[in-house]
């Protein structure tokens, strides 16, 4: 390497080459296996588009996304943990009033999501922005079915009031497969892995003076909780889903988001 290069780049590339060579020696990679790897990476790149990022999916399914997230978001005990963002977040969802509905396709079991946003001491955080999104009852996000699902189906942005409270009505999410019709799906198949994620509701919680939380709440009794295709499950993110059956709403899920001060 040159003498005048970025020191961080030097550190990263030195380690990468060391580990890459150790890996090749460890498995005694054959010429044919090297060709398979090149072909796999080539196809992974070729299927990428503005709508599809197969390399991130590869990182997700190898557990690398969660590892990078864990290293970069170490928080105090009690603070809400992060998990994987995933490819289906869309910026600019409609801002909705407290208690409003976000599900517009008439499918699924209605679920009230509610809770509070607080700091580490339990004090309410007002004006926190809560960006939420989930799949529909068929296991697809609206962006996967343009023209079939209503635009912004199962998405919305909510702002907490003085008591830090939030509430909205969506559906109880269902488990679904990550996109598996490309090279990553082929890899999962070859490894005897299924492509499913356990049912979850996505949240991004932001508030002035606090660290951004990119997370989900999980439906704890989901079949795939112990084998999430992208390793996103964390025990602290399991939320209660209680049957209420009041004639309109079938489920209620209460979950508080506990924020860490910025810079901590
Ligand atoms: C998701 O939860 O939306 C997701 C996360 C990682 C990969 C694919 C989907
Ligand atoms: Fe998801």
CA atoms of 48 and 58, how far apart (whole Å): 12
CA atoms of 150 and 102, how far apart (whole Å): 11
The pLDDT value given to residue 153: 98
Q: Whose CA is nearest to atom 2 of ligand 1?
A: 86
What average pLDDT does the segment 113-136 reach? 98
Task: Please state the atom number of ligand 1 nearest to the C-alpha of residue 88.
Answer: 3
Question: 248: pLDDT confidence band, cut at 50, 70 and 90?
Answer: confident
Taking the centre of ligand 2 as the mean of its atom positions, its distance from the CA of residue 233, in whole angstroms, is 11
pLDDT value at 126 more than 90: yes
Q: Whose CA is nearest to atom 5 of ligand 1?
A: 86
Average pLDDT, the chain: 97
Q: Name the closest ligand to CA 230.
A: 1
The pLDDT value given to residue 245: 84
Question: What domains are defined for the chain?
Answer: 47-258 (2.60.130.10)
For 136-184, the pLDDT digits (tens) are: 999 999 999 999 999 999 999 999 999 999 999 999 999 999 999 999 9
pLDDT value at 134 more than 90: yes
CB of 178 closer than 8 Å to CB of 151? no
Q: Whose CA is nearest to atom 9 of ligand 1?
A: 86
Of 52, 54, 60, the one to substitute when testing ligand 1's pocket (max ligand atoms within 8 A of C-beta) is: 60
pLDDT value at 29 more than 90: yes
Of 55, 85, 154, 228, the one to substitute when testing ligand 1's pocket (max ligand atoms within 8 A of C-beta) is: 85
Q: First-to-last CA distance in the chain?
A: 36
Question: 249: pLDDT confidence band, cut at 50, 70 and 90?
Answer: confident
Task: Please state the atom number of ligand 1 nearest to the C-alpha of residue 85.
Answer: 5
What average pLDDT does the segment 17-38 reach? 98
What average pLDDT does the segment 81-97 reach? 96
Q: Name the closest ligand to CA 200.
A: 2
Of 52, 88, 176, 201, the one to substitute when testing ligand 1's pocket (max ligand atoms within 8 A of C-beta) is: 88
**How far, CA to CA in Å, does 264 sit from each of 74, 79, 115, 213, 257?**
9, 12, 24, 14, 17
Question: 263: pLDDT confidence band, cut at 50, 70 and 90?
Answer: confident
Contacts of 116 (CB under 8 A, 6+ apart): 124, 160, 163, 164, 165, 166, 256, 257
pTM for the whole structure: 0.95
Question: 264: pLDDT confidence band, cut at 50, 70 and 90?
Answer: confident
Q: Name the closest ligand to CA 177.
A: 1
For tokens 């499913």, name the residue: 196
For 58-83, the pLDDT digits (tens) are: 999 999 999 999 999 999 999 999 99
Question: 93: pLDDT confidence band, cut at 50, 70 and 90?
Answer: very high
- Walk across the sheet containing 155-159 and list its strands: 155-159, 129-133, 200-206, 213-219, 238-239
Task: Please state the atom number of ligand 1 nearest to the C-alpha of residue 200.
Answer: 2
Question: 33: pLDDT confidence band, cut at 50, 70 and 90?
Answer: very high
The pLDDT value given to residue 133: 98
For 194-231, the pLDDT digits (tens) are: 999 999 999 999 999 999 999 999 999 999 999 999 99
Taking the centre of ligand 2 as the mean of its atom positions, its distance from the CA of residue 200, in whole angstroms, is 6
Task: Please state the atom number of ligand 1 nearest to the C-alpha of residue 89.
Answer: 3
Task: Please state the atom number of ligand 1 nearest to the C-alpha of residue 197.
Answer: 2
What average pLDDT does the segment 120-135 reach? 98
Q: Whose CA is nearest to atom 6 of ligand 1?
A: 86
Contacts of 130 (CB under 8 A, 6+ apart): 117, 157, 158, 159, 160, 166, 203, 204, 205, 257
The pLDDT value given to residue 247: 86
């Amino acid at each position: 390497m040159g003498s005048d290069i970025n020191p961080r780049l030097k550190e990263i590339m030195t380690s990468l080459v060391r580990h890459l060579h150790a890996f090749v020696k460890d498995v005694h990679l054959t010429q044919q296996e090297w060709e398979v790897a090149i072909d796999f990476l080539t196809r992974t790149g070729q299927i990428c588009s503005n709508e599809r990022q197969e390399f991130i999916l590869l990182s997700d399914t190898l557990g690398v996304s969660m590892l990078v997230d864990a290293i970069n978001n170490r928080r105090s005990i009690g603070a809400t943990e992060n998990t994987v963002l995933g490819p289906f977040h869309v910026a600019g969802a409609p801002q909705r009033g407290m208690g409003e509905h976000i599900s517009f396709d008439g499918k699924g079991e209605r679920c009230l999501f509610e809770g509070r946003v607080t700091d580490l001491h339990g004090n309410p955080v007002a004006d926190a922005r809560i960006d939420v999104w989930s799949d529909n009852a068929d296991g697809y996000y609206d962006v996967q079915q343009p023209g079939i699902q209503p635009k912004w189906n199962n998405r919305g942005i909510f702002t907490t009031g003085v008591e830090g409270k939030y509430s909205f009505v969506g559906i109880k999410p269902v488990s679904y497969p990550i996109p598996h019709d490309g090279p990553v799906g082929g890899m999962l198949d070859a490894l005897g892995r299924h492509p499913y994620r356990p049912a979850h509701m996505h949240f991004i919680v932001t508030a002035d003076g606090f660290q951004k939380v990119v997370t989900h709440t999980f439906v704890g009794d989901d079949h795939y909780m112990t084998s999430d295709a992208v390793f996103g499950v964390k025990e602290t993110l399991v939320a209660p889903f209680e049957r209420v059956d009041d004639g309109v709403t079938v489920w209620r899920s209460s979950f508080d988001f506990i924020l860490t001060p910025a810079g901590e």
